[in-house]
Amino acid sequence: MRLVDEDLNTPAKIRNAAIRRFGADGFARTSVRAVASEAGVSPGLVIHHFGSKEALREACDDYLVEMVMETKPQLLDEQDLSRGIRESLARIVSYRPLFIYLGRMLTDGGQAGAHLFDRFVDATRAMVDEGVKSGQMNPSSDPHVLSVVLTAQGLMSVVLEGHVARKLGATELTPEVMARMTLPVLEMQTYGLYRDETMLNAARQGLQAETNEEKERS
Protein backbone atom coordinates (compact mmCIF):
# COMPACT_ATOMS: atom_id res chain seq x y z
CA MET A 1 0.00 0.00 0.00
CA ARG A 2 1.24 3.47 -0.83
CA LEU A 3 2.12 6.10 1.69
CA VAL A 4 -0.65 8.68 1.56
CA ASP A 5 0.54 11.65 -0.53
CA GLU A 6 -2.66 13.67 -0.62
CA ASP A 7 -2.42 17.14 0.96
CA LEU A 8 1.35 16.80 1.41
CA ASN A 9 3.80 19.49 0.37
CA THR A 10 6.35 18.77 -2.35
CA PRO A 11 9.27 17.79 -0.06
CA ALA A 12 7.04 15.30 1.78
CA LYS A 13 5.82 13.79 -1.50
CA ILE A 14 9.43 13.42 -2.66
CA ARG A 15 10.37 11.82 0.68
CA ASN A 16 7.50 9.31 0.37
CA ALA A 17 8.52 8.53 -3.20
CA ALA A 18 12.10 7.94 -2.03
CA ILE A 19 10.90 5.57 0.72
CA ARG A 20 9.05 3.52 -1.86
CA ARG A 21 11.90 3.45 -4.38
CA PHE A 22 14.71 2.89 -1.85
CA GLY A 23 12.62 0.14 -0.27
CA ALA A 24 11.90 -1.55 -3.60
CA ASP A 25 15.30 -1.26 -5.28
CA GLY A 26 17.80 -0.37 -2.55
CA PHE A 27 19.56 2.92 -1.96
CA ALA A 28 22.59 2.28 -4.17
CA ARG A 29 20.49 1.14 -7.14
CA THR A 30 17.99 4.00 -6.96
CA SER A 31 18.77 7.19 -8.86
CA VAL A 32 17.53 10.69 -8.14
CA ARG A 33 15.79 10.51 -11.50
CA ALA A 34 13.88 7.39 -10.39
CA VAL A 35 12.73 9.13 -7.21
CA ALA A 36 11.71 12.19 -9.21
CA SER A 37 9.70 10.05 -11.61
CA GLU A 38 7.95 8.31 -8.71
CA ALA A 39 7.10 11.69 -7.16
CA GLY A 40 6.04 13.27 -10.47
CA VAL A 41 8.61 16.06 -10.27
CA SER A 42 11.88 16.92 -11.99
CA PRO A 43 15.26 15.63 -10.74
CA GLY A 44 16.29 19.25 -10.25
CA LEU A 45 13.43 19.79 -7.82
CA VAL A 46 14.58 16.80 -5.75
CA ILE A 47 18.06 18.31 -5.47
CA HIS A 48 16.57 21.76 -4.79
CA HIS A 49 14.71 20.46 -1.73
CA PHE A 50 17.23 17.93 -0.38
CA GLY A 51 20.63 18.80 -1.87
CA SER A 52 21.74 15.21 -2.50
CA LYS A 53 20.54 11.62 -2.56
CA GLU A 54 22.30 11.02 0.75
CA ALA A 55 20.47 13.94 2.39
CA LEU A 56 17.21 12.60 1.00
CA ARG A 57 17.90 9.22 2.60
CA GLU A 58 18.60 11.00 5.88
CA ALA A 59 15.18 12.66 5.65
CA CYS A 60 13.63 9.25 5.04
CA ASP A 61 15.42 7.89 8.12
CA ASP A 62 14.24 10.82 10.25
CA TYR A 63 10.65 10.20 9.21
CA LEU A 64 10.92 6.44 9.74
CA VAL A 65 12.33 6.71 13.26
CA GLU A 66 9.69 9.28 14.16
CA MET A 67 6.83 7.14 12.88
CA VAL A 68 8.04 3.82 14.32
CA MET A 69 8.81 5.23 17.75
CA GLU A 70 5.44 6.98 17.71
CA THR A 71 3.77 3.56 17.49
CA LYS A 72 5.50 2.32 20.65
CA PRO A 73 3.24 2.52 23.73
CA GLN A 74 4.07 5.67 25.63
CA LEU A 75 4.33 5.83 29.42
CA LEU A 76 0.69 6.76 30.05
CA ASP A 77 -2.17 5.37 32.11
CA GLU A 78 -3.79 2.06 31.18
CA GLN A 79 -6.65 3.53 29.14
CA ASP A 80 -4.31 5.72 27.11
CA LEU A 81 -2.00 2.76 26.56
CA SER A 82 -4.88 0.58 25.38
CA ARG A 83 -6.01 3.22 22.92
CA GLY A 84 -2.47 3.76 21.70
CA ILE A 85 -1.96 0.05 21.02
CA ARG A 86 -5.23 -0.17 19.07
CA GLU A 87 -4.28 2.87 16.99
CA SER A 88 -0.82 1.47 16.30
CA LEU A 89 -2.24 -1.82 15.03
CA ALA A 90 -4.72 0.06 12.83
CA ARG A 91 -1.87 2.00 11.18
CA ILE A 92 0.26 -1.02 10.28
CA VAL A 93 -1.09 -1.37 6.73
CA SER A 94 -0.47 2.29 5.88
CA TYR A 95 3.04 2.02 7.37
CA ARG A 96 3.99 -1.01 5.27
CA PRO A 97 6.21 1.00 2.85
CA LEU A 98 8.17 2.18 5.88
CA PHE A 99 8.71 -1.40 7.04
CA ILE A 100 9.85 -2.43 3.55
CA TYR A 101 12.27 0.52 3.49
CA LEU A 102 13.55 -0.36 6.97
CA GLY A 103 14.12 -4.00 6.07
CA ARG A 104 15.96 -3.03 2.89
CA MET A 105 18.23 -0.51 4.62
CA LEU A 106 19.14 -2.97 7.37
CA THR A 107 19.85 -5.91 5.07
CA ASP A 108 21.66 -4.00 2.32
CA GLY A 109 24.50 -3.34 4.74
CA GLY A 110 26.84 -0.37 4.61
CA GLN A 111 26.80 2.87 6.55
CA ALA A 112 23.14 3.60 5.77
CA GLY A 113 21.93 0.52 7.63
CA ALA A 114 24.42 0.98 10.47
CA HIS A 115 23.37 4.60 10.95
CA LEU A 116 19.69 3.68 10.98
CA PHE A 117 20.20 0.88 13.52
CA ASP A 118 22.14 3.28 15.74
CA ARG A 119 19.28 5.76 15.55
CA PHE A 120 16.85 3.12 16.80
CA VAL A 121 19.20 2.10 19.62
CA ASP A 122 19.41 5.73 20.75
CA ALA A 123 15.62 6.11 20.63
CA THR A 124 15.16 2.85 22.54
CA ARG A 125 17.69 3.93 25.18
CA ALA A 126 15.74 7.16 25.70
CA MET A 127 12.55 5.11 26.12
CA VAL A 128 14.25 2.76 28.61
CA ASP A 129 15.68 5.66 30.63
CA GLU A 130 12.27 7.30 30.76
CA GLY A 131 10.64 4.03 31.79
CA VAL A 132 13.10 3.46 34.64
CA LYS A 133 12.77 7.07 35.79
CA SER A 134 8.97 6.82 35.87
CA GLY A 135 9.05 3.48 37.71
CA GLN A 136 7.33 1.56 34.90
CA MET A 137 10.48 -0.39 33.97
CA ASN A 138 13.01 -2.23 36.08
CA PRO A 139 16.57 -0.89 36.02
CA SER A 140 19.09 -2.96 34.06
CA SER A 141 22.63 -3.95 34.97
CA ASP A 142 23.64 -2.57 31.55
CA PRO A 143 21.08 -0.18 29.97
CA HIS A 144 23.09 0.14 26.76
CA VAL A 145 23.16 -3.60 26.12
CA LEU A 146 19.47 -3.81 27.00
CA SER A 147 18.71 -1.08 24.45
CA VAL A 148 20.70 -2.87 21.73
CA VAL A 149 18.93 -6.19 22.44
CA LEU A 150 15.46 -4.62 22.57
CA THR A 151 16.16 -2.86 19.28
CA ALA A 152 17.33 -6.07 17.64
CA GLN A 153 14.28 -7.94 18.93
CA GLY A 154 11.95 -5.21 17.72
CA LEU A 155 13.50 -5.17 14.24
CA MET A 156 13.58 -8.96 13.99
CA SER A 157 10.05 -9.24 12.63
CA VAL A 158 10.84 -6.70 9.90
CA VAL A 159 14.09 -8.31 8.75
CA LEU A 160 12.68 -11.85 9.01
CA GLU A 161 9.18 -10.90 7.90
CA GLY A 162 8.73 -13.75 5.45
CA HIS A 163 9.69 -16.42 7.98
CA VAL A 164 7.78 -14.89 10.89
CA ALA A 165 4.62 -14.37 8.85
CA ARG A 166 4.83 -17.85 7.30
CA LYS A 167 5.00 -19.53 10.69
CA LEU A 168 1.97 -17.52 11.78
CA GLY A 169 -0.06 -18.46 8.71
CA ALA A 170 0.39 -15.32 6.62
CA THR A 171 2.57 -13.95 3.84
CA GLU A 172 3.40 -10.61 5.45
CA LEU A 173 3.05 -8.72 8.73
CA THR A 174 -0.65 -8.01 8.60
CA PRO A 175 -2.53 -6.26 11.43
CA GLU A 176 -3.85 -9.68 12.44
CA VAL A 177 -0.33 -11.13 12.70
CA MET A 178 0.93 -8.15 14.68
CA ALA A 179 -2.09 -8.33 16.98
CA ARG A 180 -1.38 -12.02 17.61
CA MET A 181 2.24 -11.22 18.47
CA THR A 182 1.42 -8.36 20.85
CA LEU A 183 0.39 -10.29 23.98
CA PRO A 184 3.15 -12.97 23.91
CA VAL A 185 5.82 -10.29 23.46
CA LEU A 186 4.43 -8.12 26.25
CA GLU A 187 4.00 -11.18 28.49
CA MET A 188 7.68 -11.99 28.01
CA GLN A 189 8.69 -8.38 28.72
CA THR A 190 6.37 -8.08 31.71
CA TYR A 191 6.79 -11.42 33.48
CA GLY A 192 10.05 -12.66 32.03
CA LEU A 193 10.72 -16.16 30.75
CA TYR A 194 12.09 -18.03 33.77
CA ARG A 195 10.08 -18.69 36.93
CA ASP A 196 12.95 -18.14 39.35
CA GLU A 197 16.46 -16.67 39.49
CA THR A 198 18.35 -19.93 38.97
CA MET A 199 19.63 -19.04 35.50
CA LEU A 200 20.33 -15.42 36.46
CA ASN A 201 22.29 -16.35 39.57
CA ALA A 202 24.25 -19.01 37.66
CA ALA A 203 25.14 -16.44 35.00
CA ARG A 204 26.24 -13.91 37.62
CA GLN A 205 28.46 -16.49 39.31
CA GLY A 206 29.91 -17.71 36.04
CA LEU A 207 30.68 -14.23 34.77
CA GLN A 208 32.20 -13.19 38.10
CA ALA A 209 34.39 -16.29 38.12
CA GLU A 210 35.55 -15.50 34.58
CA THR A 211 36.37 -11.93 35.60
CA ASN A 212 38.36 -13.14 38.59
CA GLU A 213 40.34 -15.58 36.43
CA GLU A 214 41.13 -12.84 33.91
CA LYS A 215 42.42 -10.61 36.73
CA GLU A 216 44.62 -13.43 37.98
CA ARG A 217 46.06 -13.99 34.50
CA SER A 218 46.84 -10.30 33.98
- State the DSSP code for 1: -
Determine contact, residues 143/129, Cβ cutoff 8 Å.
Answer: yes
Q: Which pTM value belongs to this model?
A: 0.80
Q: What is the pLDDT along the chain (218 residues), one digit of tens a residue?
A: 346 555 679 999 999 999 999 999 999 999 999 999 999 999 999 999 999 999 999 999 999 888 877 655 554 456 666 766 677 777 777 778 888 999 999 988 778 889 889 999 998 999 999 999 999 899 999 999 999 999 999 899 888 999 999 999 999 988 899 889 989 998 998 999 999 999 999 999 999 988 888 788 87
**What backbone phi and psi angles, to 5 degrees, belong to 30?**
-105, 125
Within 8 A by CB and 6+ apart from 117, the residues are: 106, 151, 155
Nearest to 70 by CA among 46, 29, 98: 98
Given a contact cutoff of 8 angstroms between Cβ atoms, the answer to whether 91 and 102 are in contact is: no
Q: Angle at the Cα of 122 (from 163 to 146), degrees rounded to 5? A: 65
Q: What confidence score (pLDDT) does residue 147 get?
A: 95
- State the pLDDT at residue 2: 45
Q: How many CB atoms lie within 10 A of CB 10?
A: 14
Of residues 184, 91, 89, 189, the one with CA closest to residue 137: 189
14 exposed, middle or buried (CB, 10 Å; 0-12, 13-18, 19+)? buried
Predicted local distance difference test score (pLDDT) of residue 213: 80
**Predicted pLDDT of residue 146:** 96
User: Which domains does the chain carry?
Assistant: 63-217 (1.10.357.10)
pLDDT of res. 158: 87
* Predicted pLDDT at 111: 84
